[in-house]
Chain A
Amino acid sequence: MQCSNCQFFNMPGSDACGRCGTSLRLSDAAIAVLPPRASPLQKRVRRIRSVWRNDRPAQNAFQRGPFACGVRNAVESGSHLALFLAAVIPGLPHLARGQNIRAHLFFWSFLLAITTALAMMGTYHSGLVLGLAFSIHSAAIADVVHQRYPTLQFRLRMLQGALVSAALVILIYAPIGFVIGSIAAPNIVSTQILPFQQGDVILVNRLARPAVGQIVLYALPDEGDPARLPQLREGQRLIVYVGRAADRILAGPGSVVECRKGVLYVDGRISENLPLNPVKLPDAWQATLPADTFFILPSALPRRPEERHNIEDSTNWLHLACIPRGGIVGRIVAQTHPLKQFHFVR
């Protein structure tokens, strides 16, 4: 009798194979030949569980998709540029490789840190949290590099980590920082500029073209030579405004600005825009704005309480209100700090 398992020829009448022990009477035995089957629900539950437990690298639709395959192939190809491009989003290469827990840890911790840093932009703590986000990002890339080259020496691995961090700064963080610094540069309000309080953080778009109606951050015009300032009599005082202020542009270059009975007229029509704070305008005056000059009433400048609503008391106010184009820093986009007072400035 030949064994069906190992093909060994056994003695006639044997019950089991003398070499492998396989039963030689299987054909007569009552054995179930229909295998157990899994229901579709069981299969689905198993698939979800295996994704969570990281049993199999490519289980869900994302990981089977072309995008994840592309990332995975980029990582596996070993090209440094491809590796770097794949690691722009922390955790993405891990997700593509099926390392779900690492992917989630890297991605969500980075997202939390970078969101917090952006929310606190301009404050002291923002730098710390941004540094944390950068560290998580670097660690995510270094982890992928380490997995790609597991046998690399410690020194080379450290060097590679440093290179990755440097490339990250030069190619990602610096350009993004430059763009953010141009379109939403954080500025801390150093002195009270109503309605902004001291310590508030405002975002300023430096690339925006100044236009009538916008609230802008601008540099107060220089008072010029101090010797030419008027001589003060006894009891008089001279207030010199320096630094930056924020207010609304009321009229553009070439406009005729006049005031009749406390009402501001621009080009013969009542101005649709008002300064940030209510002010009492001097009566019966008219001025034509020169080219590249904007009319901004300095209503937010700090004054004594009794003269807060009376701009006439401020010396040389017209000089303060005519701001050249170059003096306008940028449009104020939003107030970000304190966070509970976050709002877009319109």
Chain B
Amino acid sequence: MSRFNRLEFEPSRKPPADAPSAEPQARRITPDPDHDEHHWLKLAEAQRRLGQYENALRFYSRALEWDKSVVSGWVGQVRMLIALEEYPEAELWARKALELFKNNADLLAGRAQALSRLAKMKDALGSSDASINQPGHGSYPWLVRGELMLARGEKTADYCFGKAMQMDGDWLLLLEIGQTHLHYGHAASGLEPTRRAVQRAPDQVLAWYCQGQCEAALGLSDAATVSFERCLDLLPDYADARIALEQLSRAKPVRGFLKTWFGLK
């Protein structure tokens, strides 16, 4: 339809005010004049570090309402959707963001991660290759690469995770590596980076919570109880830790065995 691109219309002819918008999904919320996108991004990051992914997603959206050219907002949305186990939506959103930011390494990595969670390994590997080939990328593409290798059962996963850790010394990255292991059922492998994250940031609730999750998955109920209690010491309102503690206390040996054996929740 390129022949219509050069058509000219009268500048005074504007659509009526009650006409439906061209982007019905686009929410025209007036941005808060007191806070800019950096403020919302900071809030989103803080919520992410608490494991409150729903809130973080909301704040990333607020940041993008301010400025749609903030790539980290789009990447954050994709990562939060993956953390919330909404993989098809994450993949769709990553594709949409890639139309705006072509070949962005983090968005490509996010799409690869969503695809790998959807078991579309071929597409995921393609996207991951593209993300790693982009110049100046961060640790996230290597983290995703490690996840893909882990999903395929290849030993190079540790190498990829190591590369990611070389690029970023953040405790959150260690937690993400641990959570990735846990996601693929390798609780013992996941416990090691999670413990390192706890050593690095002992005042972080999420680190203790993830450690408790790994320990609970390994059947180390006492250690998991200690970790979840530590979470509540640091943040008494932390609902996830409270729920996990209740589940642990309710799990009697025989009942727990039956529940796990028959897959009941």
Q: Which residues of A pack against B, CB within 8 Å?
A: 4-5, 20-23, 26-27, 29-38, 43, 46-47, 50, 53-58, 60-70, 72-73, 76, 96-98, 147
Does B176 touch A at the CB level, under 8 Å? no
Does B162 touch A at the CB level, under 8 Å? no
Q: Which residues of A contact B246 (CB under 8 A)?
A: none
The minimal Cβ–Cβ distance linking B210 to chain A, given in whole angstroms, is 14
Q: Which residues of B contact A5 (CB under 8 A)?
A: 71, 101-102, 104
Q: Which of B3-11, B44-52, B185-193, B229-237 contacts A (4 or more CB under 8 A)?
A: B185-193
The minimal Cβ–Cβ distance linking A146 to chain B, given in whole angstroms, is 12
Closest A residue by C-beta to B214: A69
B69/A27 in contact, CB under 8 A: yes
Known contacts: A64-B185, A69-B185. The answer to whether A33 contacts B65 by CB under 8 A is yes
Contact of A69 among B25, B87, B102, B219 (CB under 8 A): B219
- If A58-B184, A67-B261 are given as contacts, then 5 extra A-B residue pairs at C-beta distance below 8 Å, sorted by A number, are A22-B101, A27-B68, A32-B25, A38-B88, A66-B217
B70/A73 in contact, CB under 8 A: no
The minimal Cβ–Cβ distance linking B14 to chain A, given in whole angstroms, is 15
Q: Which residues of B contact A53 (CB under 8 A)?
A: 119
Can you list 14 residue pairs at the A/B interface with Cβ under 8 Å? Answer: A5-B104, A27-B68, A31-B23, A33-B27, A33-B73, A46-B87, A57-B184, A58-B182, A62-B261, A62-B262, A65-B259, A65-B261, A68-B185, A69-B185
A58/B21 in contact, CB under 8 A: no
For the complex, give the distance between the alpha carbons of A36 and B26 in Å. 12
Does B118 touch A at the CB level, under 8 Å? yes
Contact of A22 among B100, B117, B188 (CB under 8 A): B100
Closest B residue by C-beta to A31: B68
The minimal Cβ–Cβ distance linking A29 to chain B, given in whole angstroms, is 6
Does B144 touch A at the CB level, under 8 Å? no
A34/B61 in contact, CB under 8 A: yes
Q: Which residues of A contact B81 (CB under 8 A)?
A: 35
For the complex, give the distance between the alpha carbons of A37 and B85 in Å. 10
Contact of A32 among B26, B87, B218 (CB under 8 A): B26
8 Å CB contacts to A: which residues of B49-82?
A: 57, 61, 64-65, 67-71, 73, 77, 81
Q: Which residues of B contact A147 (CB under 8 A)?
A: 153
B188/A29 in contact, CB under 8 A: no
Residues 1-33 of chain B, each 1 if its beta carbon lies under 8 Å from chain A, else 0: 000000000000000000001110111000000
Does B264 touch A at the CB level, under 8 Å? yes
Closest A residue by C-beta to B118: A55
Q: Which residues of A contact B265 (CB under 8 A)?
A: 61
For the complex, give the distance between the alpha carbons of A266 and B90 in Å. 85
Does B89 touch A at the CB level, under 8 Å? yes
Q: Which residues of A contact B153 (CB under 8 A)?
A: 147
Known contacts: A56-B183, A70-B219. The answer to whether A30 contacts B260 by CB under 8 A is no
B185/A96 in contact, CB under 8 A: yes
Q: Which residues of B contact A58 (CB under 8 A)?
A: 182-185
Closest B residue by C-beta to A24: B69
